[in-house]
Amino acid sequence: MKTFSGADERTLFGQRLISALQRAELSCSPTEVAHGFNLRGNGARVTSHAARKWLLGHAIPTQGNIQVLADWTGVNAAWLRFGEGERHRPMPLILKDTATDPRMTSMFNDLLSLPAEAQVLVRGLINVLMKLERQPHDHNK
């Protein structure tokens, strides 16, 4: 295992984050990164200034925030933080003999056959829909 200085670790983290964002066809703008993170952070929020520091390699987020970034971009958290292990996270398989709805199994298998970038896009869509679902509904409309 290589040993890096703190500054080197931060720089390498920033490069990996930019690479993960680009591969997922996401914006590397600090404002967009902060906005995207805040949609997925389950209450954890960051500013565009914090996102800028991550992207420039001036700071490394907490492990919880790294996990949010990894889930969002479709990479392994260990790879994102340390550059170790497989870059892409394997998606779990649903066994065909499970008691799940066959339509769900088919849809999930279709999702697994998509490229990683498309899987990230679908995950983003699901996140947006779930966020909308959690908002109070105005039943008078």
In the chain, pLDDT over 70 holds for what percent of residues? 79
In three-state form (DSSP H/G/I as H, E/B as E, the rest C), the secondary structure along the chain is CCCCCHHHHHHHHHHHHHHHHHHCCCCCCHHHHHHHHHHHCCCCCCCHHHHHHHHHCCCCCCHHHHHHHHHHHCECHHHHHHCCCCCECCCCCCCCCCCCCHHHHHHHHHHHHCCHHHHHHHHHHHHHHHHHHHCCCCCCC
Comparison of pLDDT for 19 and 139, the residue scoring more: 19
pTM over 0.85: no
The tokens for 133 are 């679902």
* Cα 135 from chain centroid (whole Å): 22
pLDDT at residue 48 tops 90: yes
pLDDT at residue 71 tops 90: no
pLDDT at residue 95 tops 70: no
CATH architecture classification, 6-134? Orthogonal Bundle (1.10)
Q: Where are the domains of the chain?
A: 6-134
Q: pLDDT tens digits for 4-37?
A: 677 899 999 999 999 999 988 889 999 999 999 9
Residue in 47, 44, 21, 51 with CA at minimum distance from that of residue 124: 21
For range 53-75, the mean pLDDT? 94
Do 76 and 89 contact (CB within 8 A), yes or no? yes
